[in-house]
Amino acid sequence: MKLHFFIGYDSKEDIAYRVCKHSLLKHSSIDINITSLKLDELIAKNLYTRDVDPLASTQFTYSRFLVPRLMNFQGWAVFCDCDFIFLDDVSNLFNNLDESKAVYCVQHDYTPKERHKMDGQKQTIYPRKNWSSFIVFNCAHPSTKSLTVEKVNNETGAYLHQFKWCQDDEIGSLDERWNWLEGWTSGHNNQKPFAVHYTRGGPWFSEWQDVEYAKEWLEERDEYLSKKFNKEIKKN
């Protein structure tokens, strides 16, 4: 089995993407085909034509919904924001998936207290917030097939991020530990996370060094940088 995994890429947070990818591969027991959702590449392929949205907090705010199209509407695929680290094996996601579901996600009831995000972006509040930050797509599902290039480029953010393109009973629920919101989930869940989401701000920003699971992220970063350095030494 090979898992297809798409990670949102933002040039402002390159190191976050690198560490996310490193942690994902490190903990996986199966082969993973990882694709970075780079906006310039999608634009070059004429898959992304939206105008710049001043409310979009990342370069992958909307492009995540192109994943089923990038999979040619076949099989299962996972998307996550770049501000994650994985602490468990993602193959466990696929133990009990139901083909009748169009998507799976952690169905947070989340209302952040912060008014701004890590890089000064305004923290917007809306229904089903953070549901779309970690998505398991059933790409062949009829509702998922409705996510055409035209629709992704023209529909509103609310329509896309609140999963209005499918029926409520087609949204499967994942264990909350797969999208553990730093600074939030630990307030009501005392278990160990499978994947930590630094939605408020991550340790790659100097002012966010003291957040929950900062130590784990920094360790993953140092391990990634060490392996990268050793590879470069071997090349030379």
> How confident is the model over 40-91, as pLDDT tens digits?
999 999 999 999 888 788 999 999 999 999 999 999 999 999 999 999 999 9
Domain ranges of the chain: 2-235
Residue 236 confidence (pLDDT): 56
Name the CATH topology of 2-235. Answer: Spore Coat Polysaccharide Biosynthesis Protein SpsA; Chain A (3.90.550)
| Alpha carbon distance 205, 57 (integer Å) | 16
SS3 21: helix
| Exposure string for 173-211, b = 16+ CB within 10 A, e = fewer | ebebbbbbbbbbbeeeeeeebbbbbbbbbbbbeeebeeb
| Alpha carbon distance 236, 230 (integer Å) | 10
Residue 79 confidence (pLDDT): 98
CA distances from 224 to 22, 56, 124, 213, 217 (A): 6, 29, 32, 17, 10
Backbone angles phi, psi at 129, to 5 degrees: -65, 135
Residue 125 confidence (pLDDT): 60
Residue 6 confidence (pLDDT): 98
Write down the residue that tokens 């090979």 correspond to.
2
Query: Which residues does the chain have with pLDDT short of 50?
Result: 116, 119-120
33: amino acid identity, one letter: N
Residue 1 confidence (pLDDT): 66
Residue 112 confidence (pLDDT): 63
pTM of the model: 0.91
CB contact at 8 A, 202 and 208: yes
Burial class (CB in 10 A: 0-12, 13-18, 19+), 6: buried
